[in-house]
Structure 1
Amino acid sequence: MSTILSSGTYYGIERKQEEGMCFKLNITRYDPFTDIGKHYHENAYLSLLIHGVYREMNRKAEQDLLPGELIFRPAGYDHANHFAAGGGSCLNIEFKPEAIQALIEKPVLPQVMAVYPAGTFEYLYKLLYCFIQDLGDGLQDEYILNWLAAQTVQKIPARLLWLPRVKHILEEELDQPYSITGLAARVHVHPVYLARAFKEREGITPGEYRLKMRLGKAMELLFRTRESVSSIAYATGFTDAAHFIRSFRACYPTSPHRFRASLKS
């Protein structure tokens, strides 16, 4: 008989967790030779293997998952697992069914288990990095909406009348609260469609575009003012100096303090 795991519940040791608009994120760690008996989850979720190797066993087949690979497990999918000698850890992205239904009229989540090779959806690996480094600020929502959008086949038209307005908002309102759902409501576009169309047209998500604008403004302030790093962080919409410094270092090979100091040398 299989065990049912309720929303947000996983085997293993939870190391980190976060909850967003339409998802729950966590990282779980598993000891070497961990055996997990037959079970299924109340909600559908994606699981990205960060390190280690484990065997996925269901009613029809068995297969080994390797680091970087991604598996989608629909709600109610019955399976068991065995971790190898090195143990392992996984990023789990659980979908909130009510939130997904509110966002999307037609079901887009796959109905069967699927395994994807490492690197298949680059934004989910960006999600992993942002989650580990605490670089949130709405990016997690966008990366997950991009995955949901990839499950649809809606064609993007050549001309997007709302795109200039979206870019203007992202460029001019750097210190204002941001969410992709709020942005979509302002231009009267569905958030999943906006996420997909913007990414297809601009090559980056709206949140990444906004981050690029914020870091550009921060660079301008580092050159042109004597404002402290904390003041620059708040002026460009970061929650605190630590978030600004992490984002700056992710883009440039140094910290804001050292960059500014190098200008004086």
Structure 2
Amino acid sequence: MSGIVDLHVSEYRPGGHMAGHRHDEAWFCLVVEGGYEETILGMRNVHEPGDLLFCPAHAKHEQRFGQRGARKVIFHPNDTLAGLLAEHHARLDGRPLIRRSATLHALGWRIVQAMAVEDACAPLCAEGLALDVLAETGRGMAELSMMEPAWLRRVRQCLHDDRARDWSLADLAAVAERHPVHLARSFRLFHHCTPGDYLRRLRVERAAHLLRTTRRPLLDIALECGFAGAAQFSRSFRAVHAVTPSAWRRSR
């Protein structure tokens, strides 16, 4: 088993719009032609050929396609493959992941061409190329992990150590001893999200742990984890897990 599930090529018409929706499973998408704008977990990005995207399971996303439409290679990783990627720093931990390179673009076209050949070897060839895509991605993530500067690791550690604090960008810039704009750009480069997105994820992860291991009231958990109240807690939790905290607790 390659670990690649449901590998296929999808085409989207020019000017098309896909309203906000979710998938039950996580998926990878490699743009090979055209382009589109996507909003996912509150973040908006413009995708071009050569972009490899990871969409977490149950993450709400919306897409608007440009004048050329788009062609994408789409596939799902099974649990074994996701674990292997995590060992090589490409953690699929609930955040969108975006990589862009000419190498990925070339691999995407080779997958399209392989799948157009109607013989018994076509699926094997395409799956092998999809694994090359993930290897390229994992290699890039490992390189970024090793390159992350000490001052940026210091900022992340502050967020982990005091996730309930109402951090501002200025506060974090003071910790880093860097300009706020430089901090924001560097954080997105290495972690594919803003410091605020990262902090929200940390708070939700802590809240999920308390929901699973205690019977404490939701408001108590919300306040301990740094949320202003039950409403804000519910909105943030739904953005990550696609269900309310109470529904998530009942399902466990």
TM-score (normalizing by structure 2):
0.43
- Larger RCO, structure (CA 8 Å, separation 6 or more): 2
TM-score, with normalisation over the residues of structure 1? Answer: 0.41
Structure with more helix by fraction: 2
